[in-house]
Structure 1
């Protein structure tokens, strides 16, 4: 697998297109287009629209909150005009601000859907654990000046693995119809001054990752024992839970699809963690109802898969 790919500039791409978008979410209200604030979706649609010469609407694999970053946000759209691979990537990036970039673009079958064909989403939360405030990492990591016990955080988090009611870790304004999610894995590791929370699930509730990390940091500081997450999970009440960790440390690093779609493999971000060396799709997905449902059936976007 290579980081470099020749961009075809002669062959017009037709039919549905999928692309990967990377962005620094610091200056944006989040992914979703809003009238009153700048959004990543709005910026990408505007840039692609300039390449096409007409309006374009895009659909993403998962929305991110204000201040949250992404290194592999998968998007699809139906192009109103044919353009080459190079035209979409170079033209789109030329019209995007410096904190958003298109990484690649591919033709996909017409029944591909960035959100409804996704098997899993993965986030990495980066904590810079040192006495002095960060400078170079200030926009893409959360600073914690108190010593954190990453091993205790990892142990406390394992109770969350599997299919659970995550009511204690969902935002008050969460619009999901159900608090149940299947968490595939959650790992907490220390790499020098960096403490990284790596988490994957079929889907996430609003603020779910940040609320989990907020509770884990309480365990890491020694203010609560390793049974703390189990107690919060059992409460099923957000008002009795812990604080929400800042958005600056959260990175949406992967959306996983069945190999039938043949989407490009790429290193998991952020580049701050490139030394970990993991690429998308390396890990086997667990036995999960939604994964099985979407792999075995070709569903339309309005179908309702298992949670």
Structure 2
């Protein structure tokens, strides 16, 4: 589809099983060290991530993977999806997938999904980070002549 091409990853190598991908995602819910899904060069001092929700579902010809978390490691989603593709093709078992991230085996995570399929849906805060005075009184002003 020409209209969605810049926003999706066109993957034609083998059919994927969304139920297997969902089964692999479910154990990620909770607070975990996810160093296996962190690219080199990160300035983050730790690899703890609180994963709140995971979802994999078919939507027409598309497979939609959504992860909601307290934050994301550098390259986390691309590496995670790259490994989930192997699970969805049944090239990697659910047990092996879990073993890789639980034991922080970054050297096993070889494939990364392309950035074209990655989309940040929303950013949320427990509380709005700015007071109303700061938000309204200090907005930049532009004047056009």
Q: Same fold (TM over 0.5)?
A: yes
1:144 match: 11
User: Does 1:176 pair with 2:44?
Assistant: yes
**Unaligned regions of 5+ residues in structure 2, if any?**
131-145
Cα distance in 2 for partners of 1:205, 1:225 equals 24
The 1:218/1:258 distance shift into structure 2, 3 A limit, reads same
Deviations 1:243-292 (A, max 9, x none): 11100000011111236579xxxxxxxxxxxxxxxxxxxxxxxxxxxxxx
User: Does 1:250 pair with 2:122?
Assistant: no
User: Does 1:165 pair with 2:22?
Assistant: no
User: Does 1:195 pair with 2:25?
Assistant: no
User: Does 1:226 pair with 2:97?
Assistant: no
Cα distance in 2 for partners of 1:219, 1:232 equals 12
**Unaligned regions of 5+ residues in structure 1, if any?**
1-133, 263-307
Larger Rg: 1
The answer to which structure has the higher helix fraction is 2
Cα distance in 1 for partners of 2:27, 2:3 equals 34
1:115 match: none
Q: Give 4+ residue runs of structure 1 displaced > 3 Å after superposition.
A: 258-262
Deviation at 1:229, TM superposition (A): 2.3
Deviations 1:37-77 (A, max 9, x none): xxxxxxxxxxxxxxxxxxxxxxxxxxxxxxxxxxxxxxxxx
1:155 match: 23
Q: How many residues align?
A: 129
Cα distance in 2 for partners of 1:220, 1:236 equals 21
State the TM-score, normalized to the length of structure 1.
Answer: 0.40
State the TM-score, normalized to the length of structure 2.
Answer: 0.82
Cα distance in 2 for partners of 1:248, 1:154 equals 21
1:27 match: none
Cα distance in 1 for partners of 2:102, 2:40 equals 17
The answer to which structure has the higher strand fraction is 1
Cα distance in 1 for partners of 2:128, 2:101 equals 36
Deviation at 1:136, TM superposition (A): 2.9
- After superposition, the CA RMSD in angstroms is 1.7
